[in-house]
Amino acid sequence: MSEARQRAAKADPAADEAIYQSITRAIMDGRLRAGTKLVEQTLAEAFGVSRERIRKVLHRLGAERRIEIVPNRGSRVPSPTPEEIRAVYEAHRVLEAGVLVQLGQMLNDEILARLDAHLVEERDAAARGDRAASVRLSGAFHTHLVDALGNEELSRFLRDLLSRSSVMVSVYEPATQSVCAVDEHGAIVEALRARDVPRAIDLSRHHFRHVEQRLRLDPVPAPPADLRALFGPAQG
């Protein structure tokens, strides 16, 4: 790539965003498997941009904990251990139990209407088999719960957890299980509608355990992804 083209590439936020979204979608819909190496040079060639631009996007994904960046070894799709998965889902269960207690004290028809509308989106995504949207909307359900409290610190903490657990679901959960999450979310909403907070908490805990149990850690590594084929011009 010429020096002039490299300079021009530095000033194109829209291109950065497009690359970021493309890699994110590939992770979220399971096309990039756990442990896949994200080689800067290969990605630069696939997208037709500079390595500097790719490095910038990968750093953003790393900061969001959607990928792992290992010093002197490069970037890769996370391959969390069973212990890491248990820790993340335990944190989810503890956090959401507290959120539901607080939410029970301020629940109103407006909050329930937002949750109902969200469930419609989740069911639509599951029905059309949109894997990436299903994973994204599944996480968004839980952000709707915490955001209703208006506590930015809690919301920020949950989003950090979701960045990690969404990748876990994307790379380890069978796509056919997406509808189960929608049904479990619906049961939580119905418990809240009945003002039965203890039941909502119990359902939430079971939901996170079910998600954790559905993750299938394959002991056989997936074949390396062909990054050029995945992100090349023909995929645009």
| Residue ranges making up the domain that contains 185 | 82-214
CA distance 73 to 138: 32
Tell whether 141 and 189 lie within a shared domain: yes
Tell whether 98 and 141 lie within a shared domain: yes
Tell whether 88 and 58 lie within a shared domain: no
CA distances for 69 relative to 25, 61, 92, 223, 231, angstroms: 18, 9, 24, 20, 20
Indicate if the alpha-carbon torsion angle 173, 22, 138, 155 is positive or negative: positive
Tell whether 23 and 120 lie within a shared domain: no
Average pLDDT per consecutive 10 residues, the chain (236 residues; last block may be shorter): 50 89 86 89 94 95 91 89 92 97 96 97 91 87 96 93 86 65 95 97 96 77 78 68
Dihedral over alpha carbons 25, 31, 37, 38 (to 10 degrees): -30
pLDDT for the residue 167: 84
Tell whether 98 and 198 lie within a shared domain: yes
